[in-house]
Amino acid sequence: MSRIRSRDTAPEKAVRSLLHCLGYRFRIYRKDLPGKPDIVLAKYKTVIFVHGCFWHRHKGCQRCTTPSANQEYWLAKFEKNISKDKKNKTLLRRLGWKAITVWECEIKKPDKLTQRLVRLIGN
């Protein structure tokens, strides 16, 4: 797999501590679910992916740039990431899970992100 995948990135930690403050209980890195979601809220049948804007192509985001060298390579790589994300979300939905994507740039506006998460997860 070509996607760069590291554990405990700063955005993931930020989302986790935000959820923690909100009183949600969750598990991380459940490998038995499609796409290995970063955060799993089993009680709400909800998973959260914390995505980097560059790698996962956050539409309209200023971090979603395309390197000018080797464009073909990059575009193919991005295409692969996008279709993989899409496929995982479809699989999760079929299994009865709701999948939420949190973009790395959203961490900069924690109030807004909190509102969105509460609305999507429910309480």
Q: Please tell me whether residue 56 binds Zn ion under the rule CB under 5 A.
A: no
Q: Assess 28 for contact with Zn ion (CB under 5 A).
A: no
Q: Write out the two tokens for 29.
A: 């890195």
Please name the residue that has the structure tokens 């479809």.
90
Among 39, 58, 100, 121, binds Zn ion (CB under 5 A): 58
Sign, CA torsion 7/69/59/88: negative
Q: Which is nearer to Zn ion, 45 or 66 (CB)?
A: 66
Residue 103 as a binder of Zn ion (CB under 5 A): the answer is yes
Max CA-CA distance within the chain? 47
| Residues at the interface with Zn ion (CB under 5 A) | 53, 58, 61, 103, 105
